[in-house]
Chain A
Amino acid sequence: MELIYSLAVGIFCACGVWLLLRPRTFQVILGLALLSYATNLFIFAMGRLTLDRPPLIDPNVVADASLYDDPIPQALVLTAIVIGFATTALFLVMLIASRGFTGTDHVDGVEKDE
């Protein structure tokens, strides 16, 4: 599971960085989205990968830390997702505004090769 998980994070990250460096605004926003997926998965993995361990304490079961998963990375991921979603939405608005102002979807507002 660790191997698949880390491969997934790595592929997301590589694709994200590549897209981020592309000249079109839409590619940039997709790149940022992929990068934020990679980051979120990475934060999640920092709570260690475990199976069948809920992050919430069940009052009917004996209190034993080894039965539970660390809830903090999951809370962090949730916050990061919300913030990332908001900023991506804002970026999308700017992308459209920029397209409206400059008439091109190049990140610099001008076509380089024309």
Chain B
Amino acid sequence: MSTLLRHLPVLPIVLPLISGALLLFLPQQRTVLRSSIALLSTLAQVAIAAYLLHRLIDPQPGLLEHGVEVYVLGGWVAPYGIVLVVDRLSALMLALNAAIALPVHVYSLAHWDRVGVHYHSMLQFLLMGLNGAFLTGDLFNLFVFFEILLSASYGLLLHGSNAVRVKAGLHYVAVNLAGSLIFLIGVALIYGVAGTLNMADLGVQWAAMAPERRSLFEAGVGILGIAFLIKAGIWPLNFWLPKTYTAASPPVAAMFAIMTKVGVYALLRMGSLLAIPEAPAPFAGPWLFYGTVATMWFGIVGMLAARQLTRLVAFSVIASSGTLLAVIALGVTSATAPVLLYLIASVPAGTAFFLIAGMTERLRVNSVTEETRAPQPTTYTAFMAGEPHEVGDNELDEVGVAIPAALAFLGMAFVSCTLLTTGMPPLVGFMAKFSIISALLGAAMDQSSLDAWLLIVSLLAAGFAGLIALTKRGMRSFWSTGRTTPRLRFIEAMPVAFLILLCVTMTIAAGPVMNYLDSAAEWLHEPNAYIHAVLPTREVSP
């Protein structure tokens, strides 16, 4: 048992890898077996993430000395070997990832896992990439995990291919391939200057770097930052995002809601390690700040202009990415914990929204649209997988336990998600926005900084615009005449209910959640703890 516990940090990567690979070899017709294996793997990841998080809530002295757990792969010590690092932030991201992966997975069991081949494998590989990106303590492994999650996302985006998806996918893949090359150039430059790719070691090197090497290093880090900003969906690098998220099938779009946050996480992590003596341009300061505020306004305008719910939510994902990074870029230390709260509130809300959007599609009289129509047979013949037996021409013909008062449920879910996304009381979204604004107000009063005011105005405008757009959208969906009462299956409704209940729980338990986030933020602003855990003999002096 204790051996297993020691290897716990690597399990979120190994487990989906094994189960995903195993699922590749099972025939497509064994639906029940495949779904059970995949679901078991997702459940195990939830358990592991929850345990890792739990251990860091109240770390016992001795076991986790600094609130950081370092897993040394193959016993090769850093900076020569590869390390996985579980600190409060990565444990939080792992838990968030698992918490949205489970409902998405369950939701897709209703119908979507059978509209194409190898859905479960790709979902597991996506989870592997996401978990790995949150855990790794090494820049090149970050690249590898980014590639794993991107490859899986290419496959998932094309899942149930139709013309719209292939077209959006073509742009998405092209942008991300170019982004990966930019990432590699940045990594190469950094290695060329610093001679290491271990993140903690980079922090040490950066603090003690000779001035003549600084500019080249900054250029490398700048190029790397561009790659992260593409992933995070920061204006003007985000034109691929709305179209991609709108074209994807609902559970896939729901899972994509966390993918922009990987870019945010990477920026946050690198920015915190390079913060001594001063973080380079893409990780802090005016460039990032104005770029992200522009992103927020891009999201606002997009939300107001969007005519489709999925497109609207895609723009709200952009706005939330912008909000997160704008607050970080402003460098108000007391706002870091609130912004983490905003992160864990906005991601489940976005996920739930994409799932709801998949269900409200059916409110229309002719509910079988281009999006929901059964797949074109190309996928099956191309992969010689044979026709899956359970996909009918019309998904609504499928048998399943329908829930009563479907319309009331959808309406309630829609309202809750609107409250969460726009930051209206009483849910956790409001708390997050309120505490961000309160921290910013403090900074604005103290330093009379115009930037803080600008951010406050943008934040309020984003909430207001989201409210207008979503109310309009909701009225059109739920109050218009000529709609049909949809049949919702339990298996589709439960995940949405789970996500909303998760947010309600966070609202009720806001005190303990905030305590955890406070200590996470504190660790983030104290990079020495991280560096010390990875490289016990080194330290950075401010």
Q: With contacts defined as CB atoms under 8 Å apart, how many contacts are there between chain A and chain B in the complex?
A: 90
Nearest-neighbor residue (CB-CB) of B155 within chain A: A90
Could you tell me if A73 and B188 are in contact, using CB atoms closer than 8 angstroms? Answer: yes
A36 to B147, CA, bound (A): 14
Q: Considering the chains assembled together, what is the distance between the CA atoms of A46 and B190 in angstroms?
A: 9
Interface range for A? 20 to 34
Contact B378 A80 (CB under 8 A): no
Subset of 18 A-B contacts with CB under 8 Å: A20-B174, A20-B178, A42-B185, A43-B188, A43-B191, A76-B188, A83-B144, A83-B147, A87-B150, A91-B177, A94-B154, A97-B158, A97-B161, A97-B378, A98-B170, A101-B161, A101-B162, A109-B167
Q: How far is the CA of A80 from the CA of B189 in the complex (A)?
A: 15
The reply on A102 being an interface residue by CB < 8 A is yes
* Contact across chains for B191 and A72 when beta carbons are under 8 A apart: yes
Contacts of B228 in A (CB 8 A): none
B185 and A107 form a contact (CB under 8 A): no
Residues of A16-41 contacting chain B, CB below 8 A: 20, 25, 28, 32, 35-36, 39
Question: What residues make up the interface of B, taking CB atoms closer than 8 Å to A?
Answer: 140, 144, 147, 150-151, 154-155, 158, 161-163, 166-167, 169-171, 173-174, 177-178, 180-181, 184-185, 187-189, 191-192, 197, 378, 382
Asked whether A100 lies within 8 Å of B147 as measured between CB atoms, the reply is no
Does residue A111 face the partner (Cβ distance < 8 Å to B)? no
8 smallest CB-CB distances across A and B, nearest first, come from: A46-B192, A43-B188, A101-B163, A46-B188, A109-B167, A39-B181, A98-B166, A83-B147
Evaluate contact between A94 and B158: CB separation under 8 angstroms: yes
A residues 79-99 with Cβ under 8 Å of B? 79-80, 83-84, 86-88, 90-91, 94-95, 97-98
A45–B191 Cα distance when bound, in Å, is 11
Which of chain B's residues have a CB closer than 8 A to the CB of A43?
184-185, 187-188, 191
Most buried by A among B150, B184, B189, B378: B184
Chain A window 55-94, contacts with chain B (Cβ cutoff 8 Å), 1 for yes, 0 for no:
0000000000000000011001001100110111011001
Report the Cα distance A83→B143, complex, angstroms: 10
Q: Which residues of A contact B (CB under 8 A)?
A: 20, 25, 28, 32, 35-36, 39, 42-43, 45-47, 72-73, 76, 79-80, 83-84, 86-88, 90-91, 94-95, 97-98, 100-102, 107-109
**CB–CB B161/A91 < 8 A:** no
Task: Tell whether, in the assembled complex, residue A107 and residue B171 are in contact, meaning their CB atoms are under 8 Å apart.
Answer: yes
B421 to chain A, nearest CB (A): 31
In the assembled complex, how far is the CB of residue B145 from the closest CB belonging to chain A, in whole angstroms? Answer: 11
Closest A residue to B220 by CB, please name it: A46
Since A39-B181, A107-B171 are in contact, a sample of 18 more A-B pairs with Cβ atoms closer than 8 Å, ordered by chain A residue number, is: A32-B177, A35-B178, A39-B185, A39-B188, A43-B187, A46-B188, A46-B192, A47-B192, A79-B140, A90-B151, A90-B173, A91-B177, A94-B154, A94-B166, A94-B170, A94-B173, A101-B162, A102-B163
Contact B154 A80 (CB under 8 A): no
- A112 to B106 alpha-carbon distance, docked (Å): 42
Which B residues lie within 8 Å of A76 (CB)? Answer: 140, 187-188, 191
The interface residues of chain B lying within 8 Å CB-to-CB of A28 are: 174
A98 to chain B, nearest CB (A): 5
Q: How far is the CA of A87 from the CA of B150 in the complex (A)?
A: 9
CB-nearest residue of chain A to B167: A109
A32 lies within 8 A of B188 (CB): no
Q: Complex formed: what's the CA distance from A32 to B290 in Å?
A: 30
Residues of A within 8 A of B163 (CB): 101-102, 109
- Whole-angstrom distance between the Cβ of A66 and the nearest chain B Cβ: 15
A residues within 8 A CB of B180? 83-84, 87
Q: Are A100 and B378 in contact (CB under 8 A)?
A: yes
Q: Which residues of B contact A107 (CB under 8 A)?
A: 170-171, 174
Contact indicator B174/A32 (Cβ below 8 Å): yes
Residues in A with CB closer than 8 Å to B189 are: 46
Are B144 and A79 in touch, CB under 8 angstroms? yes
